[in-house]
Amino acid sequence: MDMIEILKAVLFGIVEGITEWLPISSTGHMILLNEFVTLNVSEDFWEMFLVVIQLGAILAVVLLFWNKIFPFRFREKQVVQKDIFVLWFKILVSCIPAAVVGLAFDDVLDALFYNPWCVAIALIVFGVAFIVIENRNKTMKPKITELRDITYRTALMIGIFQLIAAVFPGTSRSGATILGALMIGVSRTVAAEFTFFLAIPVMLGASLLKLVKFGFAFTGDEMIILAVGMAVAFVVSVAVIRFLMGYIKKHDFKVFGWYRIVLGAVVLLYFALS
């Protein structure tokens, strides 16, 4: 196994762990990084790796929010936490739009939109949207300040915004769902937490789909690259999630909007000149 390839996997894991939870598009960054740092793997493995590396990031959410997402308390009188079961039903409702489109048009969407130009445009458009929405929300109080206050209708609306991210790489799954939640009156903290929880079934489903298409036919080198990328993504995600939850208690998301705009402009300029 070439050590250079392992170091590349570490780099991709770092980028995945940082960008999966910040609303700046993990897939977009991974696609752009691949333009400059390319893994020495087959095209089929790369397409699978781009999605399955996110499983490491999922484990970070499970670790940090275990008490909020696991519905059983075996040492308490009330063994089953009904409110957590209800939350999971709402999460599943949010998954429906992206799941339907993803299963039906996964290959078509990859062929049409997984390229640097579409990524750059999505970065800029949603960057502007974050700034506009946060400016609008300055004088407004959120209507939903607790996870239990999210209704099935609200969950479905957030799921529709997630659908945008499923179609256009560079939008950011977390960015789309957080932005959608802010637009309909969800507080920043609740929007972020619901987005984290929503990622669990979404990423598990997407990863399973990619693994089935790939065929589970890994070489030893491919297994090492995937394992290293996932492990690094997990460690980095733990730190990033903790940072983000502390950050949004005192700040808004506009800084991420400006970052998206600048990055998108740089990418457009780079590919225009090259």
Q: What is the pLDDT of residues 119-139, one digit of tens each?
A: 888 899 999 999 999 999 988
Q: How many distinct structural domains can be found in the chain?
A: 1
Task: Give the pLDDT mean for 93-111.
Answer: 79
| Average pLDDT of the residues in 170-176 | 85
Q: pLDDT band at residue 242, thresholds of 50, 70 and 90?
A: very high
pLDDT of residue 257: 95
Using 50, 70 and 90 to split pLDDT, how confident is the model at 164? confident
DSSP letter for each residue of the chain: --HHHHHHHHHHHHHHHHHTTTTT-HHHHHHHHHTTS--SS-HHHHHHHHHHTHHHHHHHHHHHTHHHH--B-TTSS--B-HHHHHHHHHHHHHHHHHHHHHHHHHHHHHHHH-SHHHHHHHHHHHHHHHHHHHHHHTT---SB-SGGG--HHHHHHHHHHHHHHHHSTTS-HHHHHHHHHHHTTB-HHHHHHHHHHHHHHHHHHHHHHHHHHHTS---HHHHHHHHHHHHHHHHHHHHHHHHHHHHTTT--SHHHHHHHHHHHHHHHHHHHH-
Domain around 43: 3-273
- Rounded to whole angstroms, the Cα distance separating 127 from 121 reads 10
pLDDT over 90 percentage in the chain: 61
Cα separation, 8 vs 171, in Å, equals 24
Residue 266's pLDDT is 87
Instruction: Provide the pLDDT for residue 229.
Output: 96
pTM over 0.85: yes
CB 254 within 8 A of CB 198: no
Given this model, what pLDDT does residue 271 score?
83
How do residues 175-217 score in pLDDT, each as one tens digit? 899 999 999 999 999 999 999 999 999 888 889 888 998 988 8
pLDDT-derived band at 144 (thresholds 50, 70, 90) equals very high
Q: What is the pLDDT of residues 1-55, one digit of tens each?
A: 689 999 999 999 999 999 999 999 887 788 778 888 999 999 999 989 988 999 9
